[in-house]
Amino acid sequence: MDNRSKVVSNLIWRFFERFGAQAVNIVVGIVLARKLGPGPAGDIAVILAVITILRVFADSGMGNALIQKKEPDALDFSSVFFFNLGFSLILYAALFLAAPWIAGIYGNADYVPILRVLGLLVVVSGLFNVQQAYVAKTMQFKRFFFATLGGTLASCVLSIAMAYWGYGIWALVALHLVGYTVNTAILWFTVEWRPGRLFSFRRLKGLLSYGWKLLAASFLDTVYLQLYPLLIGARFPKEELGQFDKGRNWPDQITQSINASIDGVLLPVLSAEQDDKHRVREMTRRAIKTSSYVMMPLMAGLAVCAEPLVHLLLGEEWMPCVPFLQIFCVIYAFYPLHTANLNAIKAMGRSDVFLALEILKKLVETGALLVTLRYGVFAMALGQLASSILAQIINAWPNRKLLDYPYLRQLLDLLPALLLSAAMGAAVWTVTRLGLRDILTLLIQVPMGAALYVLGSWLLKLESFTFLISTAKKMLHRSTGGENHG
């Protein structure tokens, strides 16, 4: 299999893995939201915010360092594994001891056992991250598909059962903890790599010289994102946090399905090509054009269908999440720009630039958060939208020189998908004005939007549409053995 075919094949497996998992999680999230309501959703958002910040340290940026290194060996992987695992155990012990203090901040003693149980995710991360880096480095993304499938199904079945048996917020704990744990266990049984009795401080120091900058950047980004649930949970009713979190959740899950697919495959491929500036630029352009072609219509469609969709699936009590959902659809529609630019910078070994960008972005974004905090949760969401636009420009700026690929040229590359998605969204929105029942409105909107987008792509001969069709035909031809008869 040639390099391009290998990339496409792994991208398809990664996409099916992420999309399948997120699709199931969205369905289960709907069931749990209807059963539990906004209150428990707000509580779990606060607890997950704390644990998510700690999980950044469990990786220490070393996973990306292994992927970026041209030829990591068994000593590299084993050294990182034992370092990550030991560090994650220390982090979990700190969380276990700090749980009563954290619960005291939010005035809820019930947080203590939940923090201590769900905090085991930090330890599981220490076991998972090097396996994940090995799979990505060796381009075995089919492994992720089966591991994620097993973890997702196990956690979803258990969490729904617990919700209907009356376990309340513990159903949400099971959803997050069981899925990740089963996922990790399956990878350990199916991936041939195992840590050896090997450890080298010298190798670890070399990897840390690259990885610590990514750790610092990831920490800044994660803390900023988790400040929203932490501050909203402390300042406003938990139900309002539940609405905000649900509004962010759907577009985030869809975006992560697409971005994680491209991100996971693109970084190791770009890293292998890091010495060829032209090659990295063309692959970055392809990533922006293709992912935005897929992302833009999904976010536009979700935004215009938000009211009937939320009312039908979640019920009247969740309608306040609609404006949040629409704002985050706009934010996430442009995530391909963030992902592609940052991957190119990481792949070229410029973790110093990556860190500098994160510091600058977080100064801007935290400023917007602090300014809007006094005006309420909706103003905070609008502030996040404004800061995300500035972050696009900041992320793209270094590639003006590194790749000769400036921000304006990047906007031109995604402009066809943006304009077509906006036109499709405007046409689909008119259906909501007809006053039909929710189910009928959606049955008209969804196929209408898909048909208009595909038809418009065909009539305008959009390059990304042609590329995807051509790639799909080649994959189908290859899978049916066409190459054997050519």
Tell me, yes or no, whether 343 lies in a domain: yes
Tell me, yes or no, whether 259 lies in a domain: no
Tell me, yes or no, whether 5 lies in a domain: yes
Tell me, yes or no, whether 243 lies in a domain: no
Rounded CA-CA distance 305/48 in Å is 28
100-120, pLDDT tens digit by residue? 999 998 888 989 999 999 999
37 and 174 fall within a common domain: yes
User: Average pLDDT for residues 4-31, to the nearest whole number?
Assistant: 65
Place of tokens 């869809």: 254
Of residues 79 and 371, more confidently modeled: 371
User: Average pLDDT for residues 188-211, to the nearest whole number?
Assistant: 77
φ, ψ (nearest 5 deg) of residue 141: -70, -15
Rounded CA-CA distance 198/221 in Å is 33
Q: What is the pLDDT of residue 379?
A: 95
Residue 178 CA from chain centroid, whole number: 19
Rounded CA-CA distance 194/185 in Å is 13
191 and 286 fall within a common domain: no
Q: Are 319 and 246 in contact (CB under 8 A)?
A: no
Rounded CA-CA distance 239/156 in Å is 23
By percentage, how much of the chain surpasses pLDDT 70? Answer: 83
User: Average pLDDT for residues 67-86, to the nearest whole number?
Assistant: 80
Tell me, yes or no, whether 373 lies in a domain: yes
Tell me, yes or no, whether 267 lies in a domain: no
Model confidence at 59, pLDDT cuts 50, 70, 90, reads low
| Structural domain containing residue 351 | 273-486
Q: Hey, is 21 helix, strand or coil?
A: helix
Task: Count the domains in the chain.
Answer: 2
175 and 289 fall within a common domain: no
**HSE (CB half, 13 Å, CA atoms) of 180?**
21
Of residues 262 and 47, more confidently modeled: 47
Tell me, yes or no, whether 434 lies in a domain: yes
pLDDT of residue 429 exceeding 90, the answer is yes
Which of 207, 236, 265 is the last residue before a domain boundary? 236
Q: What is the pLDDT of residue 112?
A: 94
Q: What is the pLDDT of residue 421?
A: 95
Tell me, yes or no, whether 260 lies in a domain: no
221 and 296 fall within a common domain: no
pLDDT of residue 294 exceeding 70, the answer is yes
452 and 339 fall within a common domain: yes
Dihedral sign of CA atoms 104, 108, 109, 114 in order: negative
Nearest to residue 146, comparing CAs of 175, 187, 193? Answer: 187
319 and 422 fall within a common domain: yes
431 and 290 fall within a common domain: yes
231 and 279 fall within a common domain: no
pLDDT of residue 4 exceeding 60, the answer is no
* Residues 118, 124, 126: CA angle, nearest 5 degrees: 130
Model confidence at 139, pLDDT cuts 50, 70, 90, reads low
Q: What is the pLDDT of residue 399?
A: 85
Rounded CA-CA distance 279/204 in Å is 30
292 and 403 fall within a common domain: yes
Q: What is the DSSP string of 135-147?
A: HHHTT-THHHHHH
212 and 293 fall within a common domain: no
The pTM assigned to this predicted structure is 0.77
Which of 236, 261, 284 is the last residue before a domain boundary? 236
195 and 289 fall within a common domain: no
Place of tokens 């031809």: 477
219 and 278 fall within a common domain: no
Q: What is the pLDDT of residue 486?
A: 41
Q: Are 189 and 62 in contact (CB under 8 A)?
A: no
Rounded CA-CA distance 286/405 in Å is 12
pLDDT of residue 217 exceeding 80, the answer is no
Which of 218, 236, 254 is the last residue before a domain boundary? 236
Report H helices in 236-334.
238-272, 277-304, 306-313, 322-333
Range of lowest pLDDT (90-99, 190-199, 434-443, 446-455): 190-199
21-47, pLDDT tens digit by residue? 667 777 777 888 888 888 888 888 889
Of residues 302 and 22, more confidently modeled: 302
pLDDT of residue 5 exceeding 70, the answer is no
User: Average pLDDT for residues 298-303, to the nearest whole number?
Assistant: 95
Q: What is the pLDDT of residue 261?
A: 57
